[in-house]
């Protein structure tokens, strides 16, 4: 018999939403001092289960025991009081405030004005030292990196006394180095007696840090396994219900004419800092060019410049030889550019529109969806249903609001819409962020298919593995410039890492930018 305390016990949890049983009689428990991974396909019901544990939803059936005591939570405040903290994927920090201010903000019952900020700062320093979470307590949030913001979120939960921490896809927004640091932090937390529930799609991370894994599929528990006794293939198969291939199969690229030509482009951000510095790059029909780089080296600015969201101050952007520099977003879309954006909530979907409406967000005004400025609902519905089917978007119907789809299914919907527009240039930014391994395989196949159909594909991903597997050529971006363009077949992770950190590569220097 194990003497380790069970800190969380969820018994027979059922939660229904219109048209779907998100959690179907789920039982799940977590022991003190363990990292318990929760794995499942997109829409499997992980976030729902955790939202229940965090007091955001009430289950329709089932019970929850925290430290052996039956509880009913009606809000996240109550969950906090019971020692449960959630580190969200989308950070909820107040940008102009300091780290300390953010940590103490909202930790009632004290009023903000009356808080002894010196004592609070001291407490923040103590907690950060105890768990190896180095932060500068006086730094302003808008000046710190994403990795640091996440530490502040973790500290916030610890400051409130959490001993059960839920991490919702914590590495999706981090660079590889930040991921390693987070793994260490998680280990520190459990060695100090905390318990962690980790939601992630990344099997590598599960294998590296977790003690146990519970897999759920379509709202039901498939099983719980000890991490040391399983492997990524078994986990993937448990999750998807069939074998998943991690290998990307593709034939040699046959690049043709230049579709996208970026010629000596320079751009500044709103703080007047030069973000693109005389950058040149080309993407041909029939090839995938991947961009590798540490976040913040100009990748977002580059994509925004190509798609008309960011003005450039000099240089030219040509599409099929036509000047698209500083043209409107609609002109660029009409010229044949599709864009799978980085942030699906901000720029990919209108969350309060139905999934069907989202499928025609950029084409609704054209035939067959509109005639004489009247939308033909039947055509929209037919089209949306075809995409939902083809791209396996799990939704009760096309009328369901985009907001209520799971994250991965929202992503599949955007991919469906952008790929189906039949573009000349497909820009895919973090296309598999937050999607499960089954869907990753599917999305990778679609991107290669686009390439083989003669499209130009520009891929940006912080997953180096993904860039290396999919790309034909890889452009390394560093401080707003293309540091090198290398052949994906010949390069190594080590070489890319070196270039991404600002190292120079003479071998690659020849193929720098436009040949």
Ligand X SMILES: Nc1ncnc2c1ncn2[C@@H]1O[C@H](COP(=O)(O)OP(=O)(O)OP(=O)(O)O)[C@@H](O)[C@H]1O
Q: Give the footprint of ligand X on this chain (CB under 6 A).
A: 17, 20, 22, 40, 42-48, 394, 404-409
Question: What b/e readout covers 327-355, taking b as 16+ CB neighbours within 10 angstroms?
Answer: beeeebbebbbbbbbbebeeebbeeeebb
Q: List, in order, residues 6 or more apart from 48 with CB less than 8 Å away.
A: 15, 22, 23, 57
What lies within 8 Å, CB to CB, of 422 at 6+ separation is none
Q: What is the DSSP string of 202-256?
A: -HHHHHHH-SEEEEEETTEEEEEEEGGG--HHHHHHHHHSS----SPP-PPP---
Shortest Å, Cβ 218 to ligand X:
9
**Nearby residues of 191 by Cβ (< 8 Å), 6 or more positions away:** 33
CB closer to ligand X, 434 vs 480: 434
Q: How far is the CB of 237 from ligand X (least distance, A)?
A: 17
Instruction: Name which of 227 and 409 has its Cβ closer to ligand X.
Output: 409
Question: Which distant-in-sequence residues (6+ apart) come within 8 Å of 397 by Cβ?
Answer: 19
Closer to ligand X at the Cβ: 353 or 364? 353
In the complex, what is the shortest distance from the CB of residue 49 to ligand X, in angstroms, rounded to a whole number? 7
Nearer Cβ to ligand X (38/459):
38
Shortest separation between residue 98's beta carbon and ligand X, angstroms: 32
DSSP 8-state class, residue 403 = G
Q: Which is nearer to ligand X, 174 or 482 (CB)?
A: 174
Distance of alpha carbon 465 from alpha carbon 13, whole angstroms = 37
Judged by CB, which is closer to ligand X: 124, or 166? 166
Contact (Cβ atoms closer than 8 angstroms) between residue 91 and residue 169? no
Closest distance to ligand X from the beta carbon of 263 (Å): 39
**Closer by beta carbon to ligand X, 128 or else 214:** 214
Q: CB of residue 55 vs ligand X: minimum separation in angstroms?
A: 15
Q: What is the dihedral of CA 139, 143, 144, 145, to 10 degrees?
A: 180
Q: Which helix (H) or strand (E) holds 97?
A: none
Minimum Å gap between C-beta 46 and ligand X is 4
């Amino acid at each position: 018999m194990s003497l380790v305390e069970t800190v969380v016990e969820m018994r027979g949890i059922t939660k229904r939403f219109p048209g779907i049983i998100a959690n179907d009689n789920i039982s799940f428990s977590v022991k003190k001092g363990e990292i318990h991974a929760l794995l499942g396909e997109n829409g499997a019901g992980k976030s729902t289960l955790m939202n229940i544990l965090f007091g955001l939803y009430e289950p329709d059936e089932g019970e929850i025991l925290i430290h052996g005591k039956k509880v009913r939570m009606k809000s996240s405040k109550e969950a906090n009081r019971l020692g449960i903290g959630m580190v969200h994927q989308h950070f909820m920090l107040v940008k102009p405030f300091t780290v300390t201010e953010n940590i103490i903000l909202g930790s009632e019952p004290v009023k903000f004005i009356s808080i002894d900020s010196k004592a609070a700062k001291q407490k923040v320093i103590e907690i950060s030292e105890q768990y190896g979470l180095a932060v500068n307590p006086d730094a302003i949030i808008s000046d710190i990196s994403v990795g640091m913001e996440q530490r502040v979120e973790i500290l916030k939960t610890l400051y409130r006394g959490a001993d059960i921490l839920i991490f919702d896809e914590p590495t999706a927004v981090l660079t590889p180095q930040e991921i390693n640091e987070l793994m260490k932090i998680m280990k520190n937390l459990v060695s100090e007696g905390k318990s962690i529930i980790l939601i992630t799609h990344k099997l590598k991370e599960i294998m590296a840090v977790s003690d146990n894994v519970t897999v759920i599929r379509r709202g039901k528990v498939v099983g719980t396994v000890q991490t040391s006794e399983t492997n990524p293939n078994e986990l993937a198969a448990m999750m998807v219900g069939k074998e998943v291939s991690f290998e990307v199969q593709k034939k040699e690229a046959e690049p043709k004419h230049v579709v996208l030509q970026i010629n000596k482009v320079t751009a500044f951000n709103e703080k007047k800092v030069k973000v693109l510095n005389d950058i040149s790059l080309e993407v041909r029909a029939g090839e995938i060019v991947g961009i590798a780089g540490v976040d913040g080296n100009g990748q977002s600015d580059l994509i925004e410049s190509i798609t008309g969201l960011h003005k450039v101050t000099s240089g030219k952007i040509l599409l099929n030889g036509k000047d698209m520099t500083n043209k409107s977003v609609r002109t660029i879309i009409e010229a044949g550019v599709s864009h799978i954006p980085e942030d699906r909530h901000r720029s990919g979907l209108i969350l309060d529109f139905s999934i069907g409406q989202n499928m025609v967000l950029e084409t609704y005004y054209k035939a067959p969806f509109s005639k004489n400025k009247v939308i033909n609902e039947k055509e929209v519905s037919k089209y949306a249903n075809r995409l939902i089917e083809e791209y396996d978007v799990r939704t009760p119907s096309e009328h369901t609001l985009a907001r209520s789809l799971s994250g991965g299914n929202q992503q599949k919907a955007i991919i469906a819409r952008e790929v189906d527009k039949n573009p000349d240039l497909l820009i895919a930014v973090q296309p598999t962020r937050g999607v499960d391994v089954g869907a990753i395989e599917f999305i990778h196949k679609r991107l290669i298919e686009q390439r083989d159909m003669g499209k130009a594909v520009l891929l940006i991903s912080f997953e180096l593995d993904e860039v290396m597997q999919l790309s034909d050529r890889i452009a390394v971006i560093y401080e707003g410039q293309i540091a090198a363009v290398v052949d994906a077949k010949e390069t190594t992770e080590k070489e890319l890492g070196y270039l991404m950190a600002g190292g120079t590569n003479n071998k690659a220097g020849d193929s720098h930018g436009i040949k």
